[in-house]
Amino acid sequence: MIHDDPVTLYDVALSSRLLLGTARYSSPAILAEAIRGSGCEIVTVSLRREAGGARAGEAFWSLIRDVGVRVLPNTAGCRTAKEAIATAQMAREVFATDWIKLEVIGEEDTLQPDVFGLVEAARALADDGFKVFPYTTDDLVVAEKLLDAGCRVLMPWAAPIGSGRGVNDAFALRALRAHFPDTPLIVDAGLGAPSHAALVMEMGYDAVLLNTAVSRAGDPVLMARAFALAIEAGRAGFRAQPMTPRDMAEPSTPLIGRPFDRLA
């Protein structure tokens, strides 16, 4: 990874710009290898998947301790602000962190966030001392309201969760980046291939969160590494300031001084 270019999330500097989900892996061993292969420093986990005092969760916590990553609990599956707030409060006790990935789902087929409930929950949690990572749409007005509610990071979708479609609306994502140049923006949901991740990083996004694209790949470990490389390449491309696209061709070899000019 590009260690001289860390990303800072709620005053924590991280060398990796990849966040990895922990659901739907074929085995704990594959999950551990994928985490290590990706080089990520943050993994997300649902409170409903792991219970702090339950025997079923002991193996998971042992795995997380062994790989040495930070846990970002999420409120996956919550349908109302009240449910999300209660889940976040339980997660703080279980996982011993005030970081929370906030999800309030409003539509079943697309799993699109309920942006009204999301803003309500974000405000309540921020007021309660949480560091909120809201899963949101690419809507500029919603983004502004989330920042006003106390969020210091935004996590817009590229496409519906688990769809693997890549970037549905490049214009919207570019507009979001341009409107909030100083806010860490993490693309969350919808990416299916490493090239999708490289694209959003070239747009200037700060990080990418993945789950299904890695966990359901034929080789999750190799795919985790591929995404890590794509994210690094995309970030390097953004920092290098790509050329501006043109409508007409421009020769890469100068015309002056061609060997046959004198024979014309």
- Residue 135: phi and psi, rounded to 5, are -80, 115
- Binding-site entries for 1-deoxy-D-xylulose 5-phosphate: 162, 189-190, 211-212
- Distance separating alpha carbons of residues 93 and 58, to the nearest angstrom: 16
pLDDT band, very low/low/confident/very high, at 214 (cuts 50, 70, 90): very high
Average the pLDDT over 178-202 and give the result.
96
Look at residue 262 and give its three-state secondary structure.
Answer: helix
- Residue 243: phi and psi, rounded to 5, are -60, 155
**207 has which bridge partners?**
186
Burial tier of 245 (Cβ tally within 10 Å: 0-12, 13-18, 19+): exposed
The question of whether 131 is a catalytic residue gets the answer: no
Taking the CA atoms of 39, 41, 44 and 49 in sequence, report the sign of the dihedral they define. Answer: positive
CB 137 within 8 A of CB 160: no
- Residue 85: phi and psi, rounded to 5, are -65, -45
Q: Where are the beta strands (DSSP E) in 57-142?
A: 70-74, 99-102, 131-136
Q: Which amino acid is at 10?
A: Y
- Distance separating alpha carbons of residues 264 and 259, to the nearest angstrom: 10
Domain 7-239 part of CATH 3.20.20.70? yes
Cα-Cα-Cα-Cα torsion 216, 37, 153, 119, nearest 10 degrees, comes to 20
Average pLDDT, the chain: 90
Q: Are strands 131-136 and 186-188 parallel, antiparallel or unpaired?
A: unpaired
pLDDT band, very low/low/confident/very high, at 210 (cuts 50, 70, 90): very high
- Binding-site entries: 162, 189-190, 211-212
pLDDT digits (tens, 9 = 90+) for 168-177: 999 999 999 9
- Distance separating alpha carbons of residues 137 and 175, to the nearest angstrom: 13
Which of the residues 82, 101, 131, 145 is marked catalytic?
101
Question: What was the pLDDT predicted at 124?
Answer: 98
191: its two tokens: 């990416």
pLDDT band, very low/low/confident/very high, at 7 (cuts 50, 70, 90): very high
150: its two tokens: 């106390």
